[in-house]
Structure 1
Amino acid sequence: MHQPRGRRPGRDIYRDASGEQRNADRGRRRHGPRQCPLSRPLRNERGFTLGEVLVAMLILSVGLAAVATGFQYATSGVETGKGETTAAFLAEQRLEQLKALALTDWPNADLSAGTMTEGYGSIAHASLYRRVTTITDSPGSTCTANCKLVQVTVFYRSVTGHGQLDQERRLDVITMLVSRT
């Protein structure tokens, strides 16, 4: 029942039926120093057994071994890509030199039929590559005497974690040069 203006500040009008004290500021039940709900003892607080720790370590070590293997394959793939890209660049570089020469001086001796080999260490800034350039005069079909077939082959040894060390890879680029005169 409601009491008209006769209540004292800080006291509840209705008392808790359980008889426990309430905190006047928040309306919650008070707990003693050992009765905090977060510090109550939980059941099964024994920790991990040795077997559980060993199984967890086994699973983690298998996972780490898989990640390490993945890094090895990724590194190998990056090195293979680097080798292929550099070989393609060197082949295109040689073709562009010959195209520029064909535009300015078609009868030049460097454009005569034959094979020119640049060994390992003879290409500037690419000592791990060798390049073979083969030029064929008027290779047939509808091409006249003003045509030359140019094939540039670049060889290199790939850097991988598997395979033979003396295994040589190659990249071929073929184009046709035609005189404008």
Structure 2
Amino acid sequence: MSARPRAVLFDRDGTLVDDVPYNGDPDLVRPVPTAAAALARLRTAGVPIGVVSNQSGVARGLLTTAQVAAVNERVAALLGPFADWRWCPHGAGDGCTCRKPAPGMVLAAAAALGVAPAEVAVVGDIAADVGAADAAGARAVLVPTPATRTEEVDDARARGILADDLLGAVELLGFGA
């Protein structure tokens, strides 16, 4: 891969924390096994870290914005501070520019962090995360879960953007031990 990114954005559900569909309960937040170590490695390197997360449960009436905020606060309490948080409350048919795979959240986070989109990496668990990175001109790394479709894994493998876990993702981005 090319030079190290100057900022790294992570998907929340299924990437940083276990995916609990439409989670509005902070007590259900569980970091994935290598999240803390991966984030610590980036923080030690002085790399700003952000979160970009689709939260369509708000549009569907399954979550309130206060519940999303409470879950986000719990993620930060467990995994440390994030330099930028972005989340999209829209549904798939709403036509917004922020919902991944659209580039809106990635572009906004890059601007907020003071880096060009090409200097950003997006780490996620599904094609929408990779698509948002691609659409923004950022780099992508896919860390699959059991919910990740086989063709998404195959595509990421072919592109050289596949990692087994978050520690592997930051290593792929140039932040080795």
Indicate whether the TM-score tops 0.5.
no
Q: Which has the larger radius of gyration?
A: 1
| TM-score, normalised with respect to structure 2 | 0.24
Say which structure is richer in strand: 1
- Richer in helix (by share): 2
Higher relative CO (Cα under 8 Å, sequence separation at least 6) belongs to 2
